[in-house]
Amino acid sequence: MSIPATDAHAASYRARQVPAPAPVVDGVWAIPVPLSGSALRYVTVYLIDTGDGLVLVDAGYDHPSCWTSFQQSVTATGHRVEAVSTVLLTHNHPDHVGFAARLRDVSGARIVMGRADDFATMHRTRGPFLTQLRTALDLTGAPSDVVDAMYADAVAVAAHDESLRLDVALAGDAEFRFGDVTIHALHTPGHTYGHLVYFDTRGLVFTGDTMMAEGPTQLAIVSRPEDDPAGDLFRSLDRIRDLGATIACPAHQFPYPDVAARATQLRAFHQAEVQAVRELTHDGATAWDLARRMTWKKPWDELGRGTRRFSLVHTLALLRNATHTGR
C-alpha cells in the first residue's frame, strides 16, 4: 500500500466518495471528474500551470456531467478552460479521452497521444476495441456459449466513440517544453499498446492506468501473435522505477510518493501471476482452464460476469508471457 501524497484524496477514495480538486504541488492540481453510472466513481485529470498556457493530462468521459464538473473545477482553481493549450492523453480508453475534442473546440488545445493508441492507427492495425476483444475471447479456449455471452455483455457496456483525431501522435518518447516546465512523454505499454506516462522534471510522473497506488494493472488485450502485454508492463515499470520521480499521479485512486518502491512491488505482483500460470499450465491448457483455477479476490464462481471477462482476458495475457503462445 502506498503512502498518499494528498491525504484528502486518499481518504475520499477509501470512503468511496469523490474528492474535491486539490493541489499536488505548486502549480499542479488533481481534478477528480465524476463518472456517471460507473463503479469507478471518478477519474482524476491533472491541470498543470506553465509559462506557456495550461496543460491537461487526460480528459475524463465524454458525458455532459463530466464536462460540466471539469469546467467548474478548473474555475475553482482560479483558471479558465480556454487557457488550456495542450492535452496530454495517457491512452485511448473512454474515461481518458472523453472530452478532449470538446476542449480543443473551446480552447484550441492540441491533443497528444501515443500512435499505437491513435484510433485511426489502431483500426488499421488491430481493428476497433470490440473486434480485438472478440479475438481475445476466441483465443482463450472458453466454450462458444461463454464467449458469446461475455462478448454480448461487453457490447452492451463497452461500445464507445473511436473517432478522436490527434494533433500529435507519438511513435515513441518525446520532450515537451512549456515555458520553464519540461515534460517527457515515455512510451510505457502494458495496459494498452500505445500507453504513455508523462514525467514532469520537477519530480511528478503522471502514470495513467499503468501504475496506481493500490491493486494490479489490467493488461492489454491480446489479439495478435506478437502481443505480450505482461512483458511490456515489466519493461514499463522498470522505466518508471528508474525515473527518479518523487510523486506518482495516477488516473484513479490518489497521488502517492513512493514511486520506485511501488513500481518494484507491482512488478513482483505480476511476475508472481505469470509464475502461477506457468505452474498451472500443462500440455493443451487454455486461458479458460487456468482462469478458473487462478486466485482472484473471490472464487471464480462468485465473480461478477464483467469481472470474469476481465479476469479471463488478463489470464490470456499472462499465459502469452508464461509460454509465448496465445492458446
Residue 268's H or E segment, with its range, is helix 259-280
* pLDDT at 6 exceeding the cut of 90: no
| Residues above pLDDT 70, as percent of the chain | 96
What's the pTM? 0.94
List the single range of 13-17, 29-33, 114-118, 191-195 with lowest mean pLDDT: 13-17
- Decide: 252 and 265 in contact? Cβ < 8 Å: no
The DSSP-derived string for 75-116 is: HHTT--GGGEEEEE-S--SHHHHTTHHHHHHHH--EEEEEGG
Which fold would CATH assign to domain 7-127+162-275? Metallo-beta-lactamase; Chain A (3.60.15)
Q: Tell me the HSE value of 152 on the side-chain side, using a 13 A CA sphere.
A: 6
Residue 118's pLDDT band (cuts 50, 70, 90): very high
pLDDT for the residue 10? 82
> What's residue 161's pLDDT?
85
Confidence of residue 2 (pLDDT cuts 50, 70, 90): low
> What is residue 4's predicted lDDT score, i.e. its pLDDT?
63
Q: Which three cell numbers stand for residue 103?
A: 476542449
pLDDT recorded at residue 1: 45
| 284 — pLDDT class (breaks 50, 70, 90) | confident
Q: Taking each helix axis from N to C terminus, what angle separates 305-323 and 259-280, rounded to the nearest 10 degrees?
A: 80
User: Counting Cβ atoms within 10 Å, is residue 327 exposed (0-12), middle (13-18) or buried (19+)?
Assistant: middle
What secondary structure does DSSP assign to 274-307, as a single string?
A: HHHHHHH--TT--HHHHHTTS--SS-GGGS-HHH
Average pLDDT, the chain: 93
The mean pLDDT of 261-275, rounded to a whole number, is 97
Over residues 146-150, the mean pLDDT reads 95
Phi, psi of 148 (to 5 degrees): -60, -45
Question: Residue 312: which of 227, 221, 233, 224 has the closest Cα?
Answer: 221
Using the predicted structure, report yes or no on whether residue 326 has a pLDDT greater than 60: no
User: Under a CB-based contact definition with an 8 Å cutoff, are residues 247 and 203 in contact?
Assistant: yes
Measured CA to CA, the distance from residue 319 to residue 18 in angstroms comes to: 36
CA distance 147 to 152: 8
pLDDT of residue 16: 83
Residue 75 in grid coordinates: 474555475
Where along the chain do its domains lie?
A: 7-127+162-275
Left, alpha or beta for 86 (phi > 0: left; psi -120 to 50: alpha)? beta
**Residue-wise pLDDT tens digits, 222-252:** 999 999 999 999 999 999 999 999 999 999 9
Beta bridge pairs of residue 319: none
pLDDT at residue 327, rounded to an integer: 37
Q: How confident is the model at residue 212 (pLDDT cuts 50, 70, 90)?
A: very high
pLDDT number for residue 135:
97
